[in-house]
Amino acid sequence: MKKILVFGCMLLLGVSLQAQEGFNLGINLGLPVGDASDLSSFSLGVDANYLWNVSESLDVGVATGFTNAFGKTFEILGEEFDVEDVQFIPIAAAGRYHVTDKFRAGADVGYAIGINDGNDGGFYYRPILAYSLSQSMEVNFSYTGISLDGATWSTINLGFMVNL
């Protein structure tokens, strides 16, 4: 089932790459908070979305990407133990509201597919605040939450996005 979902995500990304209008690609750096900070020191991710303008101030569309959270190394009684990296591919609906010409607020909501062993993924939500640097570039600040069985994987992120 995971392989089918990963294939679907890659297909969605591939289709988005064919259409240039409204396609955005970016990177982000995340700091784990809460449960995630016990196992990971930081995360790196790539983001992709395709947004359609449905009104003068509202864009809606689809979002995906890939995030790798780097596991920590612990020392217990003189022995080192490495925590495995945690990886997700989110598939989500996206919405962005243009507060001003420069500021946007929005969210992605969907499901994050867990890629590493033992990671089943979970409900994905990501509120986002963005500031436009130019017509085609923005810097954004976001919080990512993934509801897992018995825990929440959360990061605070700083990202850079380019409109292609």
Entry pTM: 0.82
DSSP 72: P
CA-angle at 164, arms to 49 and 127, nearest 5°: 30
Whole-number mean pLDDT of the chain?
89
Q: Report the residue count for the chain.
A: 164
CA-angle at 57, arms to 56 and 63, nearest 5°: 115
| pLDDT of 133 | 96
Q: In this structure, are residues 24 and 164 in contact, taking their beta carbons and an 8 Å threshold? A: yes
CA gap 106, 85 in Å, rounded: 28
- Residue 33 CB contacts under 8 Å (≥ 6 apart), including other chains: 154, 155, 156
Confidence of residue 32 (pLDDT cuts 50, 70, 90): very high
* Whole-Å CA distances, 134 to 57, 69, 160, 163: 17, 30, 12, 10
> Hey, where are the domains in the chain?
2-163
* 3-state DSSP percent of the chain in helix, strand and coil, to 5: 15, 65, 20
Confidence of residue 141 (pLDDT cuts 50, 70, 90): very high
CATH number belonging to domain 2-163:
2.40.160.20
Q: In this structure, are residues 72 and 31 in contact, taking their beta carbons and an 8 Å threshold? A: no
pLDDT per position as a tens digit, 93-136: 999 999 999 999 999 999 999 999 989 999 999 999 999 999 89
| pLDDT of 19 | 32
pLDDT per position as a tens digit, 62-91: 999 999 999 999 888 888 889 999 999 999
